[in-house]
Structure formats: structure tokens, C-alpha cells
Amino acid sequence: KAGVTQTPRYLIKTRGQQVTLSCSPISGHRSVSWYQQTPGQGLQFLFEYFSETQRNKGNFPGRFSGRQFSNSRSEMNVSTLELGDSALYLCASSLRQGWTQYFGPGTRLLVL
Amino acid sequence: QQQVKQSPQSLIVQKGGISIINCAYENTAFDYFPWYQQFPGKGPALLIAIRPDVSEKKEGRFTISFNKSAKQFSLHIMDSQPGDSATYFCAASKTNDMRFGAGTRLTVKP
């Protein structure tokens, strides 16, 4: 079974731009969570989607948004990028909410 | 609000030694406790997990010890190897919610 895939793997943007990241979960997994990881900050939870509905949301500004499609694929959007948004963005999928999460390789975003 | 506290932040162990990472949780509703291992440039990968109905689970050199009354659990890596050098995250989960610890950077010196 293929793992979680994330595209693109690397991205360079400038301040003020917006970016969309994509995540394809493991086949059959319906829950997708997004995390931001910066050096020394651990995994900061962004949001979780299950059956196309946002079920949980972390403490991030409204510039961070996401959605999930009927095939469970998910996208995350960050508008008006700031330098502090430079991070590794990880997507994780699970069969159901609260079950074991399987992570993708992440998208490394650099904001200049 | 940090619901899972992990320590130490970093750990240096000699090859062949035992690495111990500790986590404490607050919410007694948590019923699933996984550990993840992350190598640089990679996403975290599930290492081992435990449910609160058992006090210990062992898989190869990796053991989780769980103390329900103290709301604590720990990861023991026996015979630590340089290839174990990575960042380790503990997590606690219940329906609709999984919380991660801040991570421990383990370095195993040859």
C-alpha cells in the first residue's frame, strides 16, 4: 500500500504570496491532519479533516486554511506569507480520527 | 495548552547504552500512546504504541513502559546504536484528538 504523499516537496516563496500544499492519504484513510514543524518547536497542529469536514483546528491565524475532497485528498493554503511561515509542513493520515497517524515526507517551505 | 510533556529535550548516549525518554500526560481520556521516530528531512514514522490496559510493550530493542496511575509513559531503547540517532516524539490520543510531545533529539555516539 502506498504511503502518504505530499507535493511539492520543496517550495520557495516571497513574503505576501500565497501557497497551496497537497496531500494524498493512504488509500482508505479518511482522516487527514496537518502539522507545522520548525526547528525546536516540535509538531504544531494546524487542523484535521475527516469526511470533507474540518473536525479540529489548532491555534494558527486565519491565513492558514485547508480543505478535503471526496477522495480524502487534502490541500492546505497559506495566504499572505510571512517569513515565520518557513517550516516543514507535514500531512498525516489515519483510518479514523484519533487512530494511528501515518506521516508523509513533508513539504519544506521557505519564505524569503 | 501542552497536554503531553516530554523530557529530556536532548539526549546523548554511548553505543550499547540504554536511551530513556519520558512523557507525562494530563487528560485521563487518552487511550492510545504511540511513539514516533523522525530522521532529518523525513516525516515522523510510527515506532511503537501502547494502550493503557498493559503496562509494558516490547518490540525488538524498543520498549514502552506505561504507568496509568502516574499518567506517565516512557520509551526505552536498549543497546542503542548510532542508527537510532533521530528525534523521538511521544503522543497521546483519544477520539478526535492526538497530542504530541515536544520531541527528544537522541544522539548515539559510536
**Exposed/middle/buried for A66, CB within 10 Å: 0-12, 13-18, 19+?**
buried
Q: Tell whether B45 lies on the interface with A, counting CB pairs under 8 A.
A: yes
Angle at CA of residue B46, ends B13 and A58, nearest 5°: 105
Per-residue pLDDT for B93 more than 90? Answer: no
Q: Residue B89: its chain A contacts at CB < 8 A?
A: 42-43
Tell me the mean pLDDT in the region B7-20. Answer: 97
Taking all residues of chain A, what is their mean pLDDT, rounded to a whole number? 93
Q: Please, what sign has the CA dihedral across residues A38, A39, A45, A51? A: positive
Q: Read off the pLDDT band of B1 (50, 70, 90).
A: low
- Contact (CB, 8 A) for B34 and B49: yes
Q: Which of B2, B96, B99 to probe the A interface (max A CBs under 10 A)?
A: B96
Percentage of chain B lying above the pLDDT 90 cut = 82
The verdict on a CB contact (< 8 Å) between B46 and A102 is: yes
- List of residues 6+ apart from B77 with CB closer than 8 A: B18, B19, B20, B61, B62, B84, B106
Residue B45 has which C-alpha cell? Answer: 514514522
Q: Which of B98, B99, B100, B104 to probe the A interface (max A CBs under 10 A)?
A: B98
- Contact (CB, 8 A) for B10 and B103: no
- Contact (CB, 8 A) for B98 and B36: no
Q: Tell whether A97 lies on the interface with B, counting CB pairs under 8 A.
A: yes
Within 10 A of A39 (CB to CB), how many other CB atoms are there? 7
- List of residues 6+ apart from A40 with CB closer than 8 A: none
Q: Residue A95: its chain B contacts at CB < 8 A?
A: none
- Contact (CB, 8 A) for B47 and B62: yes
Q: Residue A103: its chain B contacts at CB < 8 A?
A: 36, 43-45
CA atoms of B22 and B8, how far apart (whole Å): 7
Residue B10, CA atoms < 13 Å, CB-side half-sphere: 3
Q: pLDDT, tens digit, for every residue of B98-109?
A: 889 999 999 999
Q: pLDDT, tens digit, for every residue of A53-84?
A: 999 888 899 999 999 999 999 999 999 999 99
The verdict on a CB contact (< 8 Å) between B96 and A4 is: no
CA atoms of B32 and B14, how far apart (whole Å): 31
